[in-house]
Amino acid sequence: MPEITFLEAVNSALKEEMHADERVFLIGEDIGAYGGAFKVTGGMLDEFGPERIIDTPIAEAAVIGAAAGAAMCGMRPVAELQFIDFISCGGFDQLVTVAAKSRFRNGVPCPLVVRGPAGGGGRGGPFHSACPEMWFVSTPGIKVVFPATAYDAKGLLKSAIRDPDPVLFLEHKFLYRRIKDEVPNEDYVVPLGQALERRAGDEMTIITYGAMVHTSLEAAEELSKNGHSVRVIDLRTLVPLDEDTIVKAAIETSKVMIVHEDTRRGGLAGEIAAVINENAFDYLDGPILRVTAPDTPVPYAPSLEDAFLPQVSDIVTKANELLQY
């Protein structure tokens, strides 16, 4: 199996799905000749032509709206946002209003994928570093995917494209060229809604997703040096949330910590805390704790962004607190 980067994995998922299914097309800004701001769609214009790789005006309501319309009419559009931050513009309404509610309102499926680079660490400042997942996790009707590895990125994107409902697919830009995996040449999918245990452990569990999977694994490794056995669960999909895996971990390890890059208030950690309370309260031997970014916009200066982003040491400190509880 070849080793490819996260970015190449996304690219090859797009290409393979476009070859396999003529209903799949791409739409977005600068995705054609330029190959996208991060070159995720590099080379695809030559391969598929301007009819299937549609460059648009700077108009996210048009990008996502047109994708939604095409999806309702039987296509399988994949819309790219140059940075996922721009989802707050006109396209927001298209996703939460048009796409998310279509099936419920009148049984018309709207199988579009909106994908784009998310997350910090790239010194992008307040408008190029967002983790906007909670706007959509809290909106019924949108699936939300946030992969951590190249293998998952490819397998999950394929699932997302084949899924009969709207999917927001978040690609952590810090991982694009930093993460390499062995990825099969044969077609495969990673099903939506299945978390993965990335590291076994029985003293406590860290539940996390996206780039924080790697930070959490480092932290778990460090904790193991002091003899601690920490399970690390990579959610991979936030909607549907794999409650079974979460609850099982809570029952088996009795201590749970949630780590996310997103800011704290209203973050996914709260939802997980509620789910565990409802399903595994009796098994808890300590409070469900959170390590998250603070409630500020993402700052620009490296000194600030590093303080903003959860670091290995933050996780280790909080984990020790919980382990000693």
Partner 1 sequence: MLLTPRHIKASGGKPPEADKDHDKKAKGGELYGHYAANRRVLDKSAKYFVQKRKTSNDAGLSKAQLLELYRLLFETRRLEEHLVALYRQTQVVGGVYRSLGQEATAVGCAYGMRDGDYLQPLIRDLGATLTHGVMPLAMLRQYMAKATGPSGGRDLNTHFSDPNVGILGPVSMLGAMVPVLAGCLLASRFKKEDKAGLVFIGDGGSSTGAFYEGLNFAAVQKLPLVVVIESNHYAYSTPTTTQVPDGNLVRRAYGFGVDVSHVDGNDVLACYEATKLARERGLAGEGPTVIVSETYRRKGHAEHDNQAYVEDNEIEAWAKDNDPLDRYIEFLVKGKYTSKKALEKIRTEVEAELDAARDQAVAEEQPDAQTHLQAVFDDGNTPWPHYETWWRGGPTHREGS
Ligand X SMILES: Cc1ncc(C[n+]2csc(CCOP(=O)(O)OP(=O)(O)O)c2C)c(N)n1
Residues known to be catalytic:
128
| Token pair listed for 63 | 């990008």
Interacting span for partner 1 (CB under 8 A) from 98-106, 170-178, 216-224, 269-277: 98-106
The answer to whether residue 262 forms part of the interface with ligand X (CB under 6 A) is: no
Backbone dihedral angles phi then psi of residue 211, each to the nearest 5 degrees: -60, -25
Q: Rank residues 25 and 86 by Cβ distance to ligand X and give the closer one.
A: 86
19 binds, among its own copies, ligand X, partner 1, none (CB under 5 to 8 A by kind): none
297 vs 286: CA distance, rounded Å: 31
- The DSSP line for 89-106 is STHHHIIIIIIHHHHHHH
The answer to whether residue 98 forms part of the interface with partner 1 (CB under 8 A) is: yes
- The DSSP line for 284-318 is -SS--EEEEE-SSPPPSSHHHHHHHS--HHHHHHH
The answer to whether residue 114 forms part of the interface with partner 1 (CB under 8 A) is: no
Annotate each residue in 190-229 with x if it binds its own copies (CB under 8 A) or - if it does not, as one string.
----------------------------------------
User: Which residue in 168, 183, 147 sits closest to 64, CA to CA?
Assistant: 168
User: For 44-119, where are the alpha helices, taking DSSP H only?
Assistant: 44-48, 60-72, 91-93, 100-106
75 vs 89: CA distance, rounded Å: 24
SS3 247: helix
CA 172 to chain centre: 7
The single-letter code of the amino acid at 83 is F
The answer to whether residue 321 forms part of the interface with its own copies (CB under 8 A) is: no
23 binds, among ligand X, its own copies, partner 1, none (CB under 5 to 8 A by kind): partner 1
Annotate each residue in 57-96 with x if it binds ligand X (CB under 6 A) or - if it does not, as one string.
-x-x---------------------x---x--x-------
User: Which residue in 176, 149, 147, 145 sits closest to 162, CA to CA?
Assistant: 145
Smallest separation, CB 245 to its own copies (Å) = 16
The answer to whether residue 43 forms part of the interface with partner 1 (CB under 8 A) is: no
The answer to whether residue 267 forms part of the interface with its own copies (CB under 8 A) is: yes
Interacting span for partner 1 (CB under 8 A) from 120-128, 146-154, 220-228, 267-275: 120-128
269 vs 215: CA distance, rounded Å: 16
The answer to whether residue 61 forms part of the interface with partner 1 (CB under 8 A) is: yes
Residues that bind ligand X (CB under 6 A): 29, 58, 60, 82, 86, 89
Residues that bind its own copies (CB under 8 A): 88-90, 92-93, 96-97, 100-101, 104-105, 126-127, 134-135, 137-141, 239, 241, 262-263, 265-274, 277-278, 281, 284, 286-290, 295-297
